[in-house]
Amino acid sequence: MPSSENKSKFLDSQEYPLAFEERNRNSPKICAICNGSTNCFHYGVPSCNGCKTFFRRCILSGKEYQCQSEECCLITKGSRCKACRFKKCIQVGMNPNAIQTSKNISKMITDVITQQKEIYKSNDKANIVDNSQYKYGSTFLDDQSSPKISPHLSLTSEITFEKTLNELLYIEYKYKLLRESLFTGHEFWGFSIDDLFLKKSTLGSVENYQKPHNWPLPMTFKYERSVFEIDENEFQVQKKKFRYCYKHWIITDAILTLDYTKSLPFFNNLPINDKKCIIKHVGASLLIAIKAFYSYVMNHKYIYYPDGWTPIIVHKNATNLEVEVYVETVKPLYRLMLTNEEFCLLKILIICCGVSADISNNSRKILEDAKEYYSYILFAYLQVKYGNIKGATRFADIISLITTIFLYGQKFKEFRLLLNLAIEKLDPKSSRMPLPKIVQLFMEN
Amino acid sequence: MPSSENKSKFLDSQEYPLAFEERNRNSPKICAICNGSTNCFHYGVPSCNGCKTFFRRCILSGKEYQCQSEECCLITKGSRCKACRFKKCIQVGMNPNAIQTSKNISKMITDVITQQKEIYKSNDKANIVDNSQYKYGSTFLDDQSSPKISPHLSLTSEITFEKTLNELLYIEYKYKLLRESLFTGHEFWGFSIDDLFLKKSTLGSVENYQKPHNWPLPMTFKYERSVFEIDENEFQVQKKKFRYCYKHWIITDAILTLDYTKSLPFFNNLPINDKKCIIKHVGASLLIAIKAFYSYVMNHKYIYYPDGWTPIIVHKNATNLEVEVYVETVKPLYRLMLTNEEFCLLKILIICCGVSADISNNSRKILEDAKEYYSYILFAYLQVKYGNIKGATRFADIISLITTIFLYGQKFKEFRLLLNLAIEKLDPKSSRMPLPKIVQLFMEN
DNA sequence: TTAGTACAAGTTGTGCAT
DNA sequence: GATGCACAACTTGTACTA
């Protein structure tokens, strides 16, 4: 049932005469009641002259009809079941308020509107996705190839939503498995950015990696002072003390995140330069979202990695920026108690927000369509789960989270910049290996 | 008029959907009746061609219409309720005397003016918003202490939404009238904050103030350097050059905004300390939202006040912070093409977001309930206006705007702080009158 | 810049033939 | 008596003039 042709007064969005060029596009062809031909609206609904007159007479006469059959007669031109024809008029949204009369027909009108609401309610129940059906991708687990999300950007059926969300959950599941395994993407550290964009996604080969039994490792060592407070000598001492037993998380997450984006068809089909632009724009925020969510999932109050690495406690006197990046980022997730489903959609919406002036118009359009699509899925999901009102509120909360995460992303970049400057000053010969190009792309300003 | 130099710097028209020309300045963008687009005034009110013709025909025909619903239909382009559309014409102040005709329509005119007065009177008696009409408002008027079931279950009806939204539009209309009049709230500048919270709202006395005929005044004087660049001597020269012909906008807007919040039942019933907390938290953002929206409505690309005052062009070499506060703030509104209805709800949602750790649990609950209520109204409105999918997307966009505005609010505070420090340094004896306490509350950090 | 007007086109109401 | 058609009556927004 078309939701744009609407019901009560508040919902009366039917416009009057349209501009010339719009007319052909917007003028109806088929009577919504009897399928006859028409080219105009009556009482808010595309309808033929006959059905118009029929509805009018029904309302004015106030008569109530009874179906002689089973209240589901097919209405065609010439149909004779008045009860079913009138019911159909209501169902498609004919507006009795549009009948101009001095006669008091208010009771009839209230009845009609109540009836309309009941019809809508029963339809909603039948159509909208039932959440309890969502399984955590169990049917996909046999799939050996790298996962892909179906590229359907048409919003025709709720089934599609369900499918899309399940696919997202499945990819996220794989992402999590790899992240919690020994996978570091070490073999790709030397790759150019272009090569990384072109290589096969690693999300397909989860089985090759496992989670070590001794994780999380204990955080046994801590420094008295941070790199911002020490001199060259102390830095050399710290370096020796540091044990390379943790994963290099910023590299791992950057590589995995890039592979994740490849499973998003709307993203993967963009020109490579636009992809780079987008990653540059949203990369840091994506990393923050991922780190924060999986810390929160493990019930940690600050950024915490599966191998036990906990940056905020590695030295005393954390700076404000460190507190923001490593502690504050987790808080909104607790406040909202974000679910897995919500997180998956949030991640995608962060990517869709990477619309910058630098990308092509075509790509921008694609991103905007994707944003529309996924935000609607999020919305539909929340409506089903929490009901109309709570659902809308929660939707607002989660959307607000996007901007918050962007802020933290920016702070993350600032922090990394300061960190790099400090280390470069302490160790000008740069005995450290340079960070992979891809991390630079994520952290560029 | 701004110098061409400034123009090239700030007026990058590519960022706006519409091409701007100098002559479009000061022309309105939105029809005050139906929210359609327009760029001229008719019968004293910014209005589209359709509403203009409609009002004219109503007056000339002398017909009286009857609303088939509850006399609170939302008026949009294409709305069919003649009674409510005409009522809105009157409400926003269309002037029947401006109709030029030989026909005797004097009776009709007197009627209309009487009607206008009645609308004012009836609304004002109830301290602007009639609480008793709100199931919502009255719920916690009666019952502050006992645990509550969500009071919104009663709000399933679209009629309630329409009514609430129309009331908000009406308050906003009054706010705008006062803001665009000679009203400066001068008599309250010496009031303590508590007294300001307790005094009667000025939104009830719109008739006492008028918009001066010579507005907007031209921006005739500009300084070579800003207060950040000059010494004591030059400051004294600047001071002499400055003509006090503009309103002191930050004070006016702060006082009016405070009065505005008093018309919101959910806010007005909070304990005064919590009110102060909230204003401190959201005040600067509210001011930014208001300044930016009314600049955008008048088709200006930077903050511009009804009397012609244009802070960004008062000196050369605007700082980054000034550009952010006075130019960037307006851009998102053009990007979204925000409507009046959306703005009214946005404003309230900004207030509802003033949930801080410092307010009582009870107040927090009230704010959260209000947030739920108004965000659902916004949501329902958008669903009806744009359909399911586009509606959800637009909802997301508008909600995101809240966080953006908070950011700009913070920058606004920073800017005011720097400005005060600079002036204090240049003029330590502080010959200037100290700002009213209420402005300090709005600008506190 | 804004008031007035002519016109095209959409929509409602109604008499009449079937 | 119910139905659908044709057309009259009315409403609306736009384009244009002054």
- The CA distance from A316 to A313, in Å, is 7
Chain B residues close to A12, C-beta within 8 Å: 73, 79-80
Q: Which chain A residue has its CA at the smallest distance from B395's CA?
A: A396
**Angstrom distance (rounded) from CA A170 to CA A263:** 11
Say how many CB pairs under 8 Å bridge A and B. Answer: 98
- Write the pLDDT tens digit of every residue in A119-173: 655 554 443 333 333 222 222 222 333 344 433 333 445 567 778 888 898 889 8
In angstroms, what separates the C-alpha of A342 from chain B's closest C-alpha?
A: 14
For domain B156-443, give the fold: Retinoid X Receptor (1.10.565)
Q: At A431, is the pLDDT very low, low, confident or very high (cuts 50, 70, 90)?
A: low
pLDDT of the residue at A252: 94
pLDDT at A319: 87
For residues B135 and B153, give the distance between their C-alpha atoms in angstroms, rounded to a whole number: 10
> In terms of DSSP H, where are the helices of A214-270?
232-241, 249-262, 265-268
Chain B: closest CA distance from residue A397 (Å): 8
Start-end of CATH 3.30.50.10 domains in chain A:
41-100
User: Which residue matches tokens 């907007």?
Assistant: B216
Checking DSSP bridges between strand B41-42 and strand A41-42, what pairing results, if any?
A: unpaired
C1' of C18 to CA of A50 (Å): 14
CA distance B349 to chain A (A): 10
Does A308 contact strand D, using a CB cutoff of 7 Å?
no
Burial (CB < 10 A; 0-12, 13-18, 19+), residue A256, is buried
Tell whether A9 lies on the interface with B, counting CB pairs under 8 A.
yes
For B146-171, the pLDDT digits (tens) are 222 223 333 446 677 888 888 888 88
Which residues of B spanning 80-109 put their CB closer than 7 angstroms to strand C? 98-101
Residue in the block written with tokens 């992402």: A175
Provide the pLDDT for residue A102: 60
Residue A54: CB less than 7 A from any atom in strand D: yes
State whether A11 and B389 contact (CB < 8 Å): no
* Residues (354-413, chain A) with CB within 7 Å of strand C atoms: none
Sequence ranges of chain A with CATH classification 1.10.565.10: 156-443
pLDDT at A114: 66
Strand C, nucleotides < 7 Å from a protein CB: these are 1-6, 8-15
Least Cα separation, residue B70 to chain A (angstroms): 9
User: Is the Cβ of B148 closer than 8 Å to some Cβ of chain A?
Assistant: no
Q: In this complex, which of A10, A97, A392 lies closest to B384 when CB atoms are compared?
A: A10
d(CA B233, CA A98) in angstroms, rounded, equals: 71
Mean pLDDT of all residues belonging to chain A: 78
Q: In the beta sheet, which residues pair with residue B179?
A: none
- Backbone φ and ψ for B124, nearest 5 degrees, come out as -70, -35
What are A397-411's pLDDT values in tens digits? Answer: 999 999 899 999 999
Q: Which of A70, A106, A75, A105 is nearest to A92 (CA)?
A: A75
Using the structure, give the distance in angstroms from the CA atom of B4 to the C1' atom of D5, rounded to a whole number: 65
B57 touches strand C (CB under 7 A): no
CA distance B1 to A436: 52
A242-251, B89-98, B345-354 — which one is most confidently predicted on average?
B345-354
Instruction: Using CA coordinates, name the residue in chain B closest to A18.
Output: B78
The alpha carbon of residue B334 is apart from the nearest alpha carbon of chain A, in Å, by: 16
Minimal Cβ distance to A97: which of B68, B379, B400: B68
- The verdict on A403 touching B (C-beta cutoff 8 Å) is yes
- Contact residues on chain A for B79, CB-CB shorter than 8 A: 12
Please tell me the predicted confidence (pLDDT) of residue A127. Answer: 37
If 0-12 CB within 10 Å is exposed, 13-18 middle and 19+ buried, where does residue A228 land? Answer: middle
Of B7, B28, B17, B2, the C-alpha closest to B332 is B17
Strand D contact at CB of residue A339, distance < 7 A: no
> Of residues 358 to 417 in chain B, which lie within 7 A of strand D by their beta carbon?
none
Q: How confident is the model at residue B121, as a pLDDT?
A: 67
Q: How far is the CA of B53 from the C1' of C4 (A)?
A: 10
Q: Is the pLDDT of residue B345 over 60?
A: yes
- pLDDT single digits (tens) A4-34: 333 333 333 333 333 333 334 456 678 888 8
How many angstroms separate the CA of A388 from the C1' of C2?
46
- Cα–Cα distance, B390 to B398 (Å, whole number): 12
- Find the CB nearest A395 among B74, B371, B395: B395
Q: Nucleotides on strand D with an atom closer than 7 A to protein CB?
A: 2-7, 11-16
- Residue B223's pLDDT is 82
B78 touches strand D (CB under 7 A): yes
SS3 per-residue string spanning B248-301: CHHHHHHHHHHHHHHCCHHHHCCCHHHHHHHHHHHHHHHHHHHHHHHHHHCCCC
pLDDT digits (tens, 9 = 90+) for B308-333: 899 998 888 889 999 999 999 999 99
Q: Write out the H or E segment, with its range, that includes residue B46.
A: strand B45-46
Q: Is the shortest CB-to-strand distance from A54 to strand C under 7 Å?
A: no
pLDDT tens digit sequence for B68-83: 777 878 887 666 788 8
| Nearest residue, CB atoms, B392 vs list A4, A14, A375 | A375
Q: In this structure, how many other beta carbons lie within 10 angstroms of the beta carbon of residue A135?
A: 11
Over residues B359-406, the pLDDT tens digits come to 999 999 999 889 988 998 998 888 877 777 888 889 999 999 998 999
CB contact under 8 A, B387 and A4: yes
CATH H superfamily, domain B41-100: Erythroid Transcription Factor GATA-1, subunit A (3.30.50.10)
**In Å, how far is B267's CA from the nearest CA of chain A?**
19
The answer, for B37 touching chain A at a CB cutoff of 8 Å, is: no
Tokens of A39: 């080219």
Q: Are B78 and A375 in contact (CB < 8 Å)?
A: no
Q: Looking at residue A94, what DSSP letter applies?
A: -
Q: From chain A, pick out residues whose CB is under 8 angstroms from the CB of B403.
A: 400, 403-404
Contact A370, A352 (CB under 8 A): yes
| DSSP secondary structure letters along B140-187 | HHH-SSS----GGGGGG-HHHHHHHHHHHHHHHHHHHHHHTSS---GG
A404 touches chain B (CB under 8 A): yes
Q: Is the peptide bond before A436 cis (omega within 30 degrees of 0)?
A: no
